[in-house]
Chains A and B, each alone.
Chain A
C-alpha cells in the first residue's frame, strides 16, 4: 500500500523530488526476503531488521516476495528505485541462478553489493534407519546402484542440487546420471522425503535438519561448510574428506541493493553493518538459527564474484551450459 502511494506520488510529481542522499535514511526501509516466511532467508532478514534498525535510525520492514526460486523478489529489488529504501536479503541462489541460467530473471551485475551477512552450512544426510554410515559407503552404494539411487533437491541447478552433483563429480561419477534427482520444494519438503524413505539421500540447508537429526530421523554424513558445525562436532566437512569441489559449496546470505546505489547509501550501510557485526542481538540470533555471522569478515564483492565463477564453471562442467 505504502509503496503504491509513494509510487503514485513520485509519478505525479507530488513527491519530494530527488531524495537527498545525505538525509538517508529519512523513512522506513523495505528489506525483501525472496523466500517464504520462517525459512532461512526470512529469519536472517528479520534478525538483520531487528539489529540494524537502531543503527540506521529508521524502521526496517521485511517483505516476503516469493516465486521462481527467489528470483521474483530479486527482480523486484533490481527494478526498484535506486534510493536505498528497497534492499534485498540475497541468498546464494541470487548468484547461482545467473551463473547457470542464461535466461535468468536478474543478472549478477544488476545489484549493488552492500555486505556479507552469514554463512549457513548444508548437510548431506540419509534416513536415520539407513545402513549407510559414511560418505564413502554412500558413494559405493551409488556406484553399485547403476543410477537407481535417488536424491532429493529443489531442482537440478539449485544449490541443493549442486551439492550432490559436486560430490558425484568429485567421486569420479557422472553428476547428471549417477543418481536420479527427485525435485521437491524447499528444505522442509526435502527433509520429509529423506526421513520418509521416499528418496535415498540429499544434501540441503542445515536449518530444516537439526530437529530430525537430534531425534535420529536423519543421519548426517558430512557438512558443506568451511568448518565443522558446533552442534555436530563429529560430522566431518567435505574438504576434510577430500572432496574438493563439494568443499567449496556452502549456503550464505548477503545484503544487496539495486544497481547504482549512491555512495552515501553504500557508506551508510558500511557504517551500520560494522556495528551489526558486533551487535549482541545479531550474533545471538545467528547462533540460535545455526548460522555463522560473516558481517565485516568477508568482502562481499570479491566473494560474489568467486561464487559466480565457481557455479558457472560447474554448470559448464556438468553440461548445463556449453563450454
Chain B
C-alpha cells in the first residue's frame, strides 16, 4: 500500500496537475463570488473539457472548481451582503456587519482559514472514514432524515434574532413559501401561473432576501451607510481570536463532514446548522448577527466541510448524493469507469491520485483565497451609493442568467420587498431562508416515511438514529424556551 501511495504521489505531482488545480480553484473562487453564478454551473460548464483530459486531472478540475466556489460565495456575502452561493448566506449574517465596521479583511481571513480547515478535515474523512460514513449515509432513511431536518430547523429558528417568537414566525413563512409548486405526488400547490408550477428556485429567494433590502434601505432612508475606516491591524485574525473560534471550526467541520456524506442535504443546511449550534452554545449569543467572528468560522468550516465528504456516496456506493457529484459521475462514465467499491480494487492507483490531489487542493485554496482577497477587499472602500446600484444590476442579470427565466427576476424583486418589510418589522430573515431550503426535505421525507409505514407515526421512533434526534429535539426545545423565559424575566425586572 505504501508503495502504491508513493507511485500515486509521483504520478499526481506534475506541473500540469498543479496548474489545473490552481486554475480550477481560482476560477471557482471568482465564480463563487459572483452572485448568480454557482459552483454547480462552473462544474457543469467544465464537464465537456474533462472529455479530453485524463481521468485524474479531469476529476481534480471539477473538485477544485467545487471547493473554490464554496469558499468564493463567502467573499461577496461578507463584502456586499450578497451570498454568491446559498451556502454562504449564513456567512453574511456576521461577515457584512464586520465589513461595515471596517473589518472586512479580518472577516475574509477568518472565512478563508475556517474554509481551508473544514476542507482539509473533510478530505481526511473521505480518505479514512469513507466506509463508515457510507454506512451511515445508507442508514439514514426517510424517518431518520425527517427527524434530522426537524432538529436542524429547530436549532436554526433561533438564529440572529432578538425574539424567538419572530424567529419562529419567519421560519413558518419560509416553510409556507417552500410549498409552492408541484408536490412529490404530482399535485400543484399555489401554482397561480405556469411558472409557479415548478416552484421557486433558491437563488432568487436567497439574493432577494439578503441583498435587495440593503438597496431599499438606501432609497427609503436616504442615508448612505457609512463604512468605518479600516483600522490598522484590523485585517488580520489574531491568535486569540482564532483560538476563540477553534471550537466552532472543529465542530463546524464535523457537522459538514456528516451532513455532506448524507445524500441530498448539502452545504447550506450544514452551514446554518453549524451556525445555530455555535450561537446556541456561545457564552454570549447576543453578539451573533452583529459581527461575531465565530459565526463566520462556524458557517464557513461547515460548508467547506461538505466538500470532501460529499464524494463519499459517489466513491463508496457509486451513487452521487447531489448535483455536483452527479456531474462527477458523468465524468467517470465518460472515462469508462464505474465509481463504487470496485473502483478501489480495480483502479486503486487513480483513487490514491485523486485523494492526494484533493489534499493538495485544500492548500491551494488557501493561496488562491489570499491572492483574490487583496483585489476583492477594495470593494469595501467603494461608497455604498455607487456600489449598491451596481450590486442590484449584477443580481438581476445573474439571476436571469441562471435559468434565462424572467419569472426568477420577479421572485427576486418581490422577495426583496418582503425582505425589506421583514427588516422594518424586525423579523430575522435567516430562519425564513433556511426553512425555505429545508422545508421540501422535511415534507418529502415525512410523507415518504408515512407512505412506508402506512400512516403509523411510530416509524419516526423506530431506529436508534431516530431516538437520538428525538432526544436532541426535546433538549433544544426545552433549553431554548427556558432561555427565552429567563430573558423575558430579566427584561421585566429591568423595567420594574
Contacts and interface: CB of A to CB of B under 8 A. Distances in A.
Interface of A: 1, 3-4, 36-39, 42-43, 46, 49-50, 62-65, 67-69, 71-72, 75-76, 105, 148, 150, 155-157, 180-185, 188-189, 191-193, 195-199, 207-208, 210-212, 214-215, 217, 285, 288-290
* Interface band, chain B: 35 or more
Nearest to B44: A37
Given A39-B326, A43-B330, A208-B319, A192 B138 contact: yes
Given A38-B326, A192-B313, A214-B338, A64 B197 contact: no
The 4 tightest CB contacts between A and B, nearest first, are A211-B318, A67-B198, A38-B326, A211-B340
B345 to A, nearest CB: 10
A36 B194 CA distance: 20
B32 to A, nearest CB: 17
A108 to B, nearest CB: 18
B330 A37 contact: yes
A179 B375 CA distance: 59
Contacts of B334: 43, 285, 288-289
A211 B451 contact: no
B323 interface: yes
A36 B323 contact: yes
Interface string B27-60: 0000000000000100110011001000000000
A181 B186 CA distance: 13
8 contacts: A68-B198, A155-B184, A181-B451, A182-B448, A192-B138, A198-B141, A214-B342, A285-B334
A180 B198 CA distance: 25
Interface string B121-147: 000000000000000011111100000
B476 interface: no
A65 B452 contact: no
A188 to B, nearest CB: 5
Given A156-B185, A183-B448, A195 B44 contact: no
Given A37-B40, A38-B327, A3 B404 contact: yes
B55 to A, nearest CB: 12
Interface stretch (B83-91, B206-214, B395-403): B395-403
B321 interface: yes
Nearest to B194: A105
A195 B340 contact: no
B389 interface: no
Contact of A155 (B40, B185, B198): B185
A156 B334 CA distance: 31
B451 A180 contact: yes
B319 A195 contact: yes
Contact of B319 (A1, A157, A191, A214): A191
Nearest to B143: A198
Contacts of A63: 404
Which of A67, A150, A181 has the most chain B CB atoms inside 10 A of its CB?
A: A67
Interface in B319-355: 319-321, 323, 325-330, 333-336, 338-342
A42 B318 contact: no
Interface in B144-202: 181-182, 184-186, 194, 197-199, 201
Nearest to B333: A289
A195 B184 contact: no
Nearest to B447: A183
Nearest to A199: B452
A214 B448 contact: no
A135 to B, nearest CB: 22
B48 A50 contact: yes
B454 interface: yes
